């Protein structure tokens, strides 16, 4: 095989992959600005003849996408942020505290937590939430979202913390810093790439979660975007433009995060292995 073909082949494969991924999104994006179903059917991938921006206003207000959107946003942000802080504290204790035997057992316990599929715990989570009296409140999602992400979060942050030179902490201890000061002033600033990566992974998982939100919340005013979109689809199934508009609303935060923070994601996932 000629060298030119060898070089071009991987690029051709990647371009094909990008096209397969991008074309459905372009269809949804263009359809969300079209005035009616006829235009969508006759020109599925074409630009709209007239840009119907009112579709977005109608979906945002009339279909209550604004309620579902903000519910998802603050639940995803808050649970991801709290989860990162808890995981960072746990990872610091496992990596730096001088209890090797205990840390080893706890670390194995964390690894076992990653092997358990989330759906297996659904019935136990439902019973726990019901017995706590928080069913049909946002707490019923906040607590499972936060706790469910801890195993992977602790694993990633602990792997990154192991790459931080111990001499930095030894010097800080000589200066009089104790464990809380070491974590807040030395370790966390150096662990920012891993923290950002874990935050983004947790946020996206919470943003797209459907099963718990569907069964734990029955009030329409509390629903998240994935569950709200199901009712939105049923109510506007004959108006494909509005359905596509709702899909765009659900995708925008994910695209924004990846656009601005994709370098941090890659850095956080690879820095530990590179430095180690």
Instruction: Read off the CATH number of the domain in which 190 is found.
Output: 1.10.3720.10
Please give the model's pTM, rounded to 2 decimal places: 0.82
Could you list the residue range(s) of the whole structural domain that residue 4 is in? 1-62
Find the helix or strand (DSSP H, E) in which 176 lies. none
Query: Among the three residues 14, 42, 62, which one is the final residue of a domain in this structure?
Result: 62
Same-domain status, 47 and 90 = no
Residues 34 and 18 in one domain: yes
Mark whether 134 and 200 lie in a shared domain.
yes
Q: Are residues 205 and 139 in the same domain?
A: yes
**Is residue 128 predicted with pLDDT exceeding 90?**
yes
Confidence of residue 52 (pLDDT cuts 50, 70, 90): confident
pLDDT for position 275: 47
Lowest mean pLDDT among 38-42, 140-144, 171-175: 171-175
* Domain match, 4 and 134 both: no
pLDDT digits (tens, 9 = 90+) for 90-121: 888 888 776 767 777 877 777 777 777 777 88
Q: Dihedral of the CA atoms 121, 124, 125, 126 (nearest 10)? A: 120
CB half-sphere exposure, 219, CA atoms < 13 A = 10
Q: Are residues 20 and 128 in the same domain?
A: no
Co-location of 74 and 183 in the same domain: yes
Same domain, 28 and 142: no
Do residues 57 and 72 both lie within one domain? no
Question: Which pLDDT belongs to residue 79?
Answer: 96
Residues 165 and 256 both lie in one domain: yes
Q: What is the pLDDT of residues 194-252, one digit of tens each?
A: 898 899 889 999 999 999 999 999 898 899 999 988 877 776 667 888 888 888 998 88
25 with 69, same domain: the answer is no
Number of other residues whose CB lies within 10 A of the CB of residue 135: 17
In the chain, helix, strand, coil percent, each to 5?
Answer: 80, 0, 20
């Amino acid at each position: 095989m000629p060298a030119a073909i060898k070089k071009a082949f991987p690029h051709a494969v990647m371009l094909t992959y990008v096209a397969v991924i991008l074309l459905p999104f372009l269809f949804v994006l263009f359809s969300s600005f079209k005035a009616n179903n006829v235009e969508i059917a006759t020109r599925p991938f074409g630009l709209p003849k007239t840009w119907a921006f009112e579709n977005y206003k109608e979906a945002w207000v009339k279909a209550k996408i604004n309620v579902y959107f903000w519910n998802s946003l603050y639940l995803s942000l808050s649970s991801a942020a709290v989860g990162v802080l808890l995981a960072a504290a746990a990872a610091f204790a496992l990596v730096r505290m001088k209890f090797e035997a205990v840390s080893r057992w706890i670390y194995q316990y964390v690894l076992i937590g990653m092997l358990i599929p989330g759906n297996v715990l659904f019935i136990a989570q439902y019973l726990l939430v019901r017995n706590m009296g928080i069913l049909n409140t946002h707490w019923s999602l906040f607590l499972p979202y936060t706790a469910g992400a801890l195993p992977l979060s602790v694993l990633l942050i602990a792997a990154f913390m192991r790459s931080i030179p111990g001499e930095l902490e030894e010097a800080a201890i000589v200066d009089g810093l104790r464990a809380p000061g070491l974590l807040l002033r030395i370790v966390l600033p150096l662990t920012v790439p891993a923290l950002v990566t874990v935050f983004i992974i947790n946020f996206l998982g919470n943003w797209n979660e459907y099963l718990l939100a569907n069964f734990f919340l029955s009030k329409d005013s509390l629903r998240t975007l994935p569950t709200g979109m199901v009712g939105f689809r049923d109510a506007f199934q004959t108006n494909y433009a509005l359905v596509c508009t709702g899909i765009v609303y659900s995708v925008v935060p994910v695209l924004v995060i990846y656009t601005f923070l994709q370098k941090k994601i890659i850095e956080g996932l690879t820095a530990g292995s590179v430095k180690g």
